[in-house]
Structures are given as C-alpha cells and as structure tokens.
A and B are shown apart, each in its own frame.
Chain A
Amino acid sequence: METAKEQAAQYTLEPATDIPKSNHYYLNMGPQHPSTHGVLRVLLEMDGEYVIKAQPVLGYGHRMHEKMAEHKNWMAFMPNTGRMDYAAALPFNHGYAALFERLCNIEVPERAEYIRVITSELNRLVSHHLWLGAFLLDLGAFTPILYTFDDREQVLDILEDITGSRLTYCYFRVGGVCKDIDDKFVERTRAYIKRQRERFKVYNELVTGNIIFLKRVEGVGIISPEMARRYGATGPVVRGSGIAYDIRKAEPYSVYDRFDFEIPTGTTGDSLDRYLVRLEEMEQSLRIIEQALEQLPDGPYLGKVPKKLKLPTGDANFAVEAARGELSYYLVSGGGDMPYRLKIRVPSYSNLSLLPELAQGMLIADLVAAMGSLDLVIPEIDR
C-alpha cells in the first residue's frame, strides 16, 4: 500500500521549463490571489515583470459533476448544473433540460420556451455585470464594481421572485419551467430594461472613455481569429477577435430564431474589444427580452412529461450559448433513467487554454488585464 504522501508525490508539478535561466524565477499566481477569481492557479516563469511562460494548474475546485450525472436521474442532477457556472446558471439549466427533451422527443410549450429565453438573457446580464465589475477591479478601479452590483441586484431581485434563488438556479425542468411568470414579473422587467439603458451611459462616461482604462486594455492580450479558432475559444472571446460565432444564430435553439438581434464583434481581438463586445451584448440581451415580452404567448408553462423518464438507448447533444460561450452537453444513454455518460463542454475551459500562448512575453499587469477580459469562472473549468 502506498501512503498518502507517496501518492501525492506522484502528482508533483512539472516545472514550466526544465532548468530556469539564472535570472528567471517562478511565481505562483493563485490558488489564492485577488485576480484569479476563485481557485485558479497559474504557475508563472518570470523574468523581472515579464511573463516568460504561464501554465494554468486546474483541479482545485473539482467536484466530479460529470461522474455524479451518471448516478442521478435528470431531476436529481439539475441542481448540479447551476453550480458549475455560478455566475450564469440558467443557460446551464437550459442546456441540460433541452438535452433530455431532444433525447426523449418531448414537446415544450411555447410559453415555456419564451420564459426560458427571457430568464436566460436576464441571467446573461447578471453574469456580464459581475464580469464588468470584477474586470475593472482587476485594473485597479475600485468603484465600478459597486455600481454594477447595484444593477445586478435589480435583476437578481426579479429572478429571485420567480425562481426562488439568487445564484445557483434550478428553475428549468424537462418539458418547461417549474413556475410561471406573472404580470408583475413582466412589469418589473420592463422597468429594469428602461433603467439599465440609462445606466449604460454612466458606464460609458465613467469607464469607456477613461484614458487610463484605454491605455491598460488597448492592444493588450491580442487574440487573432486563427488563434481563437485553434483553441476552440467561444463566446465574447472569439467574437472579440472578429468571428461572429454565436450558437443563438449559428444553430438557433429554443425560440431564438424569432428575435431580431445582432452579434457584436470586435476588430483587433484585444481586451478592449472583448470589453466592448460584452457591453454591446448586454444591450442585445435587453433587445431580446423586450421582444420576447412583446410576443409572450399564453398557455401552459410545463409540458406533459412522464413521472419517471425512460431514456432510449442512444446519444444526444445539445449546445446553448452560455454567458461565456458555447456550452454543450453530450449524453450517451444505455436505457434506464440515468445517463451512461455525460460530457459537458464548457466555454471557460477552452478560453483558458489559450492563456499560455497569450501570456508569453506579457507584463504581469497585462496578464491580469487579459485574464480578466477572458471572464473565467473556475468551478466551470474544474467541474
């Protein structure tokens, strides 16, 4: 029997290069560091303030979500999906519910699809608000995070009313959603949209035009379209590089094909572009919500679903546009009510994987800015 210590010794980390040059040294950024936003550890080989090599070390927040999925029926696993990406849990709910609907050919009422779109887009706004505040905090501006949290709070209150939770939602069900929205919700959401449009002006005045901010993000962390493709980056990261790839348009799911919205793209692929893309995405989300509220049909909010869902043998895949990019679930079923295997493709993982190439030769301050602009959520990467 190996002792725990011997076992641990097998997992020691390979250094970034075999022998560091005499004036190079290693710096551990994380797992506890103010700007890695969670338990991400980046092992840096540094020369002065310049990063020679960066190596992300994952697994500090590993919770075996994929393995757990193999031992739970869909309802028992639904809360787990909200705990992977705590900043935008509803798209994770959405993908998982829709996966079973596709596998078992379950009809979803139209009203439920609209509710899903509205709440998912509200959740995207929540996530982008969190990112906006945290990104600016990384750049050393302390105040914007309280402004964005104020706005985020407005959405959270609306979502709390119908979903019952504020962060790790478990609102969607196979065949619909678990609670209907009411007139009060519609009214509050409309009021919020009006308020939020005013707030964008404040953000632009406070941040976007600020010369220090521009100096910190312009030309920093340039991701070329080719590089973004090579690493499979999705979401605002790939859109910042100028590729208009969005699942909502590329392979529309739910009722996204009924709305008129644009996919904002950047030109150079630097941190500023990713910032602008996300700000514009927030505006587009508001547009989608507005249209969805207009078109909201009456009807049931939950379709007819058998109490115990029998999965047919076979596999299914479902991709949604989460706040950080393409999220796709792939399920292999061998019958019964539990999946044989569930693979979750999360956006942050591929977005993080381009960090080593991105970080080469960067200043440490730029690394913080670039990492902030990737908008990483670590529990989603570690799963």
Chain B
Amino acid sequence: MPPELLRMIITAVLVVAFVFLNAMILGYMERKISAHIQRRPGLMEVGPHGVLQLIVDGLKLIGKQLVVPEGSSPFLFRLAPLLSFAPCVLPFVVIPFSRKLQAVSMDVGLIYILAMTSINVVAVLVAGWASNNKYSLFGTFRSVAQAVSYEIPMLLSLLAVIMMTSSFSLEGIIEAQKYYWFILIQPVAFIIYFVSGLAETNRAPFDLPEAESELTAGFHTEYSGMGFSFFFLAEYANMFTVCSIATILFLGGWKGIPLPFYDYSGIIWFLLKVYGLLFVMIWARWTYPRVRFDQLMTFCWKYLIPFSMANLLITAIMVKII
C-alpha cells in the first residue's frame, strides 16, 4: 500500500472518530452544564456520573426506526441528514490541532473551512422541504435566511484578521500571533465573529430554526433515529469548527506555555481553548430567552454588519499606516 493512501485512510478514520467523540463529549458537557445551571444533578445513571449515557443514547438512536412521513419525498428526506453530516467532517482535515498534528496543510485553509460549513444550509433546506410539514418548512425558511445573513458579518470580521496577516493559511495565522493573541487588538471582530457563530450554528439565543415553543422542533421535526442524530452530530461538529476558527484566529491556536513534546502536546492548549469557548456557548443557551425572528434580522443587518464594516475599515487604515 502506498504511504500516501495509508495516510489518507488513517486521517479519515481519525477525523470521523474525532467527530463522534466530540459529539459525545459535547453532548455530555451540555447535559451536565445545563443540569448544574438548573440546580439538578443531570446524568447520573449509566457509569460514574453518567459518562456512558451518551454511548447508550447513540445505540438507542441507531436501533430506532427512521420514519418517513407520508407525502414526503423519500429520497430527499433520507439524503438530507447525510448532506448535513458529510461537510461537517471535512473541516477537521485542515484544522491544526498542534504544530505537527494537521492532516492537510492548505494555503487557503480558512476559505476551505468556511466553504464547507456553509453547505449545511443546503441540507437544512432539503430536510425541511422534503418533510412535508409546515413546521419543518418554517424552520427551513428561518434557517436559510439566518445563515445567509449571518455569514456576512462573520466573514467581514474574519477579513480584519486576514488583512493583518495577509494569509489564508491557518498555520500562517497562528505563527503571526507569536507575541500576542489577536483578540487583544481585534476584540470587536472577535465578539462579532462569536455572535455570528452562535447564529450560524443555530444555538440559543438564536436557535430560531428549531424554536421548540413555536415550531415544535423546526426543520428536524419529522426525523427520528439516525436521521435525527446526524443533524445532532452535525450541529456539534459545526460548533467545534466555529470555536476552533475563533481559537486559531483570535486566541493563538495551539500556542500556550510550552510543554514537553510541544509539537504534539500543543493540542492540549488548543482543545482547552476550544472547549472553553464551547462552554460559553452552552452557558448562553441555558441562560437567555430566544430572540424573535425580525429582531434577529435587525440585529444582523443594522448592528453587526455596520460594526464589522467599520472595524474592517479601521483595520485597513491601521495596516496601511503601520
């Protein structure tokens, strides 16, 4: 077997394994953190402090029947979860977990990740359309409008960093943060990016596509078993991707206090930062009420986009002067 092929297979296996592991860790985190925020113990039954609960849940979901609703389009209905899941795995290939732990080094790594994460919208569109359910369709309309709007401030805030480093390569951006993290000179961009990231991943308070009290479950109302769990996996994978971009661009990626075998052990710093951001995401979800849809759009078009534009302009001028 040629070494290149072997490397590809190992990478693919590791990446998919990591996506599943991440979903499990995040699922556990979410349920435990929400439980403690709500002053209850949360998972306690399966394994010590319920650590094995998510595995059992996964098995349960695999064993469940995927019910295809009457009047739906069976092919599209079955396609949508896969369409949602597959592109979410791909960004993990280019994420530099540490100096050496990166499957593929790409000059346009950032663009590649952003391109992959935006495919999710298509999956949501297909899922909502194929379900033949008005609530699903509602969720889809909202999701598409939301994702398309929030991509603009998200990209604009990232562009400010790109201007400073003049590189789309993720390693290049990390290397540029040798002396200080970019959050110190680009705090506005970081906040805008993080808020847009919450909206991109449909997390509360921007979880309108799946607003339970209004739309029962939004675009995945009709999904059961693995159909549902693929959306679930995709959501958690997307959250990880969004937070790892934030870590790479604003928090110095794997940089931290040097550890032994730093070329590899940088992953510890990287994961700490990413899961720290994820904790904030979960924290926000269990604290705030949900915004209304028109307020969400107003917030994006009237506040986030002008602010990110201004931030970009100021950055451009500063880069030119310095």
Contact = CB atoms under 8 A, between A and B. Distances in A.
B204 interface: yes
A215 B39 contact: no
A27 B134 contact: yes
Interface string A146-164: 1100100000000000000
Looking at B38, B287, B290, B292, the one whose CB has the most chain A CB atoms below 10 A away is: B292
Given A140-B213, A216-B289, 7 more contacts: A27-B134, A35-B213, A136-B289, A141-B290, A143-B287, A150-B39, A213-B289
B70 interface: no
Interface size class of A (residues with CB under 8 A): 20 to 34
A34 B290 contact: no
A365 B289 CA distance: 12
Interface in B247-262: none
B37 interface: yes
Contact of A146 (B40, B285, B287, B291): B40
B126 to A, nearest CB: 21
Contact of A137 (B207, B213, B291): B213
Contacts of A259: none
14 contacts: A27-B135, A34-B216, A49-B293, A140-B204, A140-B290, A142-B285, A143-B37, A150-B39, A206-B287, A210-B289, A215-B291, A216-B289, A216-B290, A363-B292
Contact of A368 (B40, B207, B214, B285): B214
A94 B211 CA distance: 39
B268 to A, nearest CB: 31
Nearest to A372: B213
A1 interface: no
A250 interface: no
Contacts of A140: 204-205, 207, 211-213, 288-290
B140 to A, nearest CB: 13
A366 interface: yes
A216 B287 contact: no
B212 to A, nearest CB: 5
A39 interface: no
Interface residues of B, number: 27
Contact of B290 (A147, A206, A212, A363): A212
Contacts of A25: 134
A89 B152 CA distance: 53
Contacts of B293: 49, 363, 365
By Cβ-Cβ distance, the 4 closest A-B pairs, closest first, are A140-B290, A141-B289, A146-B38, A35-B213
B145 to A, nearest CB: 11
B39 A365 contact: no
A364 interface: yes
A215 to B, nearest CB: 6
Nearest to A27: B134
B103 to A, nearest CB: 37
A35 B286 contact: no
Interface in B71-121: none
Interface in B207-258: 207, 211-214, 216
Looking at A139, A147, A213, the one whose CB has the most chain B CB atoms below 10 A away is: A139
A143 B207 CA distance: 15
A365 B211 contact: yes
Contacts of A368: 213-214
Interface in B273-298: 285-295
Nearest to B216: A34
A138 interface: yes
Interface in A329-370: 363-366, 368
B186 interface: no
A215 B213 contact: no
A49 B138 contact: yes
Interface in A38-65: 49
Given A25-B134, A142-B34, A365 B288 contact: no
A72 interface: no
